[in-house]
Amino acid sequence: MTLISERQHQRGGTGKFILLGSVAAMTLGLSACVGVRIPEDAFFGECTTCPPIQPDDEDPNQEAQIGAVSEPGLGTNPIVPTSFDELIAGSDSDTDQTIKLRLVQSSRALSIGDVSVSSSDPATDDGGAHFTITIPADPDSETITTFTLGNNALGVKDVAFTEDDYESPVRNVTLSDGRKLSVAMFTEDRNTQEAGSELDWTVYGSWGIRSATNIPQRGATFVTGIETSDSAIPTSGTATFNGFVEGSVTVPSGTAIDTASIRGDATITANFANGTISGAASDITAIPIGTLPMTGPVTPGSPQAWNSLSFQGTMTSGLNGFSGATAVTSAPEGAYSLLDSATGYFAGMFYGPGAEELGAVWNLYDGIGAATGVLIGKQ
């Protein structure tokens, strides 16, 4: 991958521009990472607008409450520049170049009290989020990357990452009121056939907020990257994307909440002729992480079989984007498996000049536990 701020246009062996590394992955300092993908301090959050639910003294067996999921948000901020021609032209410009990358995200909130509660966060999804990357024309000047959440109540606007942050896939920033923002970003293709290779156009990860005293606050999983222009979305034929799902699952554990990371391969088919998209993910593994809130190092537990998933949706007519339903197709026994009645949503975008990759976020709920993650695929 190359840095577009170096004003170089290098091509890979297939002759395609590799701009994700130049614009997002390398500019943001993304790197591959193994092990648990969703850091414990960068996903779940406490609902700060509601007091913790107190237990019923007459019901000592009251369990933690995990609420239903809601439809993910595609974001409200268009990409800048709006075409690949503009992006390429801007890399040779004598003026500063600004690139905006919107997030497709699925947010959750967590209230930790005598009885912990997890819930969806549609206000944050609806508000959207984006990275803004300013690449200076002067090669000796620092590239500036900022992060903004559209939910103004969260107070995260134009939060800057410095070049000192670029060595780690997780950025940790202390906000002006003492709260702590963590943003984890990855570009590794985690499909078992492609493990170790990099995505060319897509970034996936999570963000989360903690209080000044390190109490978890809201968080989300997300995908972003260099979007395919609306006019470049194919209108005929089909394409198969080989990829993976990754994320986390939460289940009640008495009055607390247990969580595990999940990962498995996935195959997605886009039928551009009729505007449908379908996919499946099997042989998903759950790796226990611990009980929320987690304040120290994570020691993963033994892997266990998890649910298989299906995705059925439609593309947005004339525009880049798709959405639909997530469902469970198998329910193996296990502490973190969801019931076979679990349902949810997924939504995403195509990335690359010709829809070479796709990225989506998904969720599931079975009335007891919930799962949220990303779905990534590459032709």
> Which is more confidently placed, 238 or 75?
238
- Which whole number is the average pLDDT over 146-169? 83
pLDDT recorded at residue 97 = 84
pLDDT recorded at residue 95 = 81
pTM of the model: 0.84
Residue 56's pLDDT band (boundaries 50, 70, 90)?
A: very low
Tell me the C-alpha distance between 359 and 106, whole Å: 13
Tell me the C-alpha distance between 28 and 271, whole Å: 33
DSSP annotation of 225: E
CATH class label, 4-378: mainly beta
Q: Are 309 and 372 in contact (CB under 8 A)?
A: no
Tell me how far CA of residue 131 lies from CA of 112, 173, 203, 308, in angstroms: 29, 15, 11, 32
Helix or strand or coil: residue 27?
Answer: coil
- Which whole number is the average pLDDT over 170-192? 92
Spell out the domain ranges in the chain. 4-378
Tell me the C-alpha distance between 289 and 287, whole Å: 6
- pLDDT at residue 285 tops 60: yes
pLDDT recorded at residue 37 = 39
| Of 116-125, 132-141, 263-272, 368-377, minimum mean pLDDT range | 132-141
In the chain, the percentage of residues whose pLDDT exceeds 70 is 76
pLDDT recorded at residue 8 = 31
| Of 2-6, 86-90, 247-251, 304-308, minimum mean pLDDT range | 2-6
> Which is more confidently placed, 44 or 321?
321
> Which is more confidently placed, 309 or 283?
309
Per-residue tokens: 193: 């056939």
Q: Averaging pLDDT over each range in 75-84, 123-132, 208-217, 293-302, which range is the top one? A: 123-132
Residue 164's pLDDT band (boundaries 50, 70, 90)?
A: low
Query: Which residues, other chains included, contact 241 with Cβ-Cβ below 8 Å and sequence gap of 6+?
Result: 267, 268, 269, 270, 279, 357, 358, 377, 378, 379
Per-residue tokens: 248: 């986390």
295-330 pLDDT tens trace: 666 678 899 999 999 999 999 988 899 999 999 999
Tell me how far CA of residue 276 lies from CA of 114, 171, 311, 325, 328, in angstroms: 45, 36, 11, 12, 19
- pLDDT at residue 63 tops 50: yes
Q: Averaging pLDDT over each range in 5-9, 86-90, 102-106, 161-165, which range is the top one? A: 102-106
Tell me the C-alpha distance between 357 and 21, whole Å: 14
- pLDDT at residue 286 tops 70: yes
- pLDDT at residue 79 tops 80: no
Residue 54's pLDDT band (boundaries 50, 70, 90)?
A: very low
Q: Which helix (H) or strand (E) holds 223?
A: strand 216-225
> Which is more confidently placed, 16 or 193?
193
Tell me the C-alpha distance between 162 and 134, whole Å: 12
Radius of gyration of the chain (CA): 20
Tell me the C-alpha distance between 372 and 329, whole Å: 16
Q: What is the DSSP code string of 304-352? A: EE--EEEEEEEEPTTSS-EEEEEEEEE--SSTTPPPTT-EEEEEEEEES
| Of 134-143, 171-180, 199-208, minimum mean pLDDT range | 134-143
Residue 253 burial (CB count, 10 A) = 15
pLDDT recorded at residue 222 = 96
Edge-to-edge strand ranges of the sheet holding 65-66:
65-66, 117-120, 104-111, 216-225, 202-210, 180-186, 170-174
Helix or strand or coil: residue 259?
Answer: strand
- pLDDT at residue 16 tops 60: no
- pLDDT at residue 148 tops 50: yes
- Which whole number is the average pLDDT over 229-255? 94
Q: Closest by alpha carbon to 129, among 158, 162, 169?
A: 158
- Which whole number is the average pLDDT over 177-195? 91
> Which is more confidently placed, 166 or 159?
159
